[in-house]
Amino acid sequence: MGDMGRGIVAVEPGKRRIKVGVAGFGNVGRAFVELLVERRELLDSRYGIDVSVSFVADSKGVLARREGLPWSLLALSLKVPRGGVSGLEGGSPGMSVEEAIAATDIDVLVDVTPSNYSRPDPQLKWYRLVLGSGGAVVTADKAPLATRCDSLLTASWRPRLFYKATVMAGTPLIDMLRWGFSGRIVERVTGILNGTTNYVLGLAEEGLGFEEAIRDAQRRGYAEPDPSSDLEGLDLAAKAAIISCTLGSPTTLWSVERRSVVNEEAFERAREAFSRGRRVKYVAVVEVGKGSFVDLVEVSKNSVLFNVSGAMNAVVIRSSEAEEVTVMGPGAGRKATAAALLSDLVLAAREVS
C-alpha cells in the first residue's frame, strides 16, 4: 500500500486519489468499469475523487499497472471476450487476485466475482488483506458476508466494507438499514428480494406451467442458466443473512430456515390463491435477534407486497417506534448493480483518506 495515508495523495486541497482493483470482469464487472469510465469526471468535479484502476482480473488472469491502467487500455479491455483480459498487452495470464493485491497498492477492492457460498475463502482472504491494511472493500458478491459477517463486520472493518449491491442492488436499502435506522430498533424486515422467483410466480397466475415460466425468465435474462439458487431460496437466505448482519445480529445463510421452494407445487398454490383474489409471494423474513426464514406466503390486496410484480423488489421494515416503512425498487440487473457499486466507491473514498 502507499506511504502517504494509504496511498492516497492529496492531488490538490480537497481532492483525493483513489486506486481501485476490480476482481471479476463479467456482466457486472464490465458494467462497473464502463460506468467508471463514463462518470470519472463527475467523481472528480462533484466529490473531489481522482479515481484510477490499478487492475482488472478475471478467472484466467490479471491486467495490472501499479500506477493505474490508462483509460484507453481499460476501454479496450471491455471489448475482449470473457476470460481474456490478461491476454492484452502487459497482462499477466495465471496471476491471481491475491497476487494482484500484493503487486499494486490499491485503496479499494471491488469484488464482482461469482457468489460461491460453499467456498468463499479466496474472497475472504482478499478482504482480509485489503481491510487489514487500511483499505476498503466494495462488493456485489454476497458469499463472504452471508457466510462470515461475524469476522468481517468488526468494529474496525465495518466502516470500510460496503455492500449495498448485494441486496436490492438497484435500491439503496442497505444504506437505509445501516445509517437511516441508526439508534432505532428494527424488529422485523420482510422482503420480496428475488426478482426471478417473483417474476415466475406472476407467470403462474397467468396460467404458464413451471418449466415454461423458467424458460421465459431465462430468455429475458431474469433467471440464470441454472436457476436453482433462486428457486431453492439460497439467494433469499443469503440476503436475509446480510440484512440480519447489518442490523447487528450476525448470522449465516446456513442458519436461515428455508421452509419452501418454488416448484410445480408452489405454482399450483399461486394459481389457486390468485383465483381467490390473493397472491403467493416468496419472501425472506428477518426477525432481528430471533431468526430468519424464507417461505412462500399468501398475501391479500391489503398487503403492500400484493402489487410488487415482475422483477421488482420490496421490503417492509417494522421498527419499535413507528409505522412500517416500505421500500420498493429495482433489485438486480448489471447496470443497477454497477451503479450501486459506484455509489459505494464514493462512500469508500471518504473512509480510506
Binding region for ligand NAP (CB under 6 A): 23-29, 57-60, 82-83, 97, 112-115, 122, 140-142, 165, 169, 332-334, 337
Compute the chain's Rg from CA coordinates. 21
Report the residue number, 7 or 29, with the smaller CB distance to ligand NAP: 29
Residue whose CB is nearest to ligand NAP in the complex, by number: 26
Q: Over the range 29-61, which residues count as b (16 or more CB within 10 Å of their CB) and which as e?
A: bbbbbbbbeebbeebeeebbbbbbbbbbbbebb
Angle between helix 210-219 and helix 264-275 axes, rounded to 10 deg: 100
Phi, psi of 116 (to 5 degrees): -105, 95
Give Cβ neighbours of residue 252 (< 8 Å, ≥ 6 apart): 146, 147, 148, 149, 241
Report the residue number, 86 or 292, with the smaller CB distance to ligand NAP: 86
Residue position matching grid coordinates 428475488: 194
Q: How far is the CB of 115 from ligand NAP (least distance, A)?
A: 4
Report the residue number, 8 or 167, with the smaller CB distance to ligand NAP: 167
Q: How far is the CB of 23 from ligand NAP (least distance, A)?
A: 5
Report the residue number, 191 or 333, with the smaller CB distance to ligand NAP: 333
Question: Given its phi and psi angles, is residue 51 left (phi above 0), alpha (psi -120 to 50 degrees) or beta?
Answer: beta
Amino acid making up residue 49: I
Q: How far is the CB of 117 from ligand NAP (least distance, A)?
A: 10
Report the residue number, 98 or 351, with the smaller CB distance to ligand NAP: 98
Report the residue number, 27 or 190, with the smaller CB distance to ligand NAP: 27
Order the strands of the 312-319 sheet from edge to edge.
257-258, 291-299, 279-287, 186-192, 312-319, 325-330
Report the residue number, 112 or 177, with the smaller CB distance to ligand NAP: 112
Give the pairing of strands 16-23 and 136-139. unpaired
Amino acid making up residue 156: S
Report the residue number, 140 or 305, with the smaller CB distance to ligand NAP: 140
Report the residue number, 135 or 170, with the smaller CB distance to ligand NAP: 170
Measure CA of the first residue to CA of the last residue in the chain; give whole Å: 13
DSSP 8-state assignment for residue 94: T
Residues 16/48, Cβ–Cβ less than 8 Å:
yes
Residues 140/167, Cβ–Cβ less than 8 Å:
no
Cα separation values, 122 from 99, 111, 131, 252, Å: 12, 11, 14, 18
Amino acid making up residue 278: R
Beta bridge partners, 92, equal 62
Q: How far apart are CA 228 and CA 298, in angstroms?
A: 22
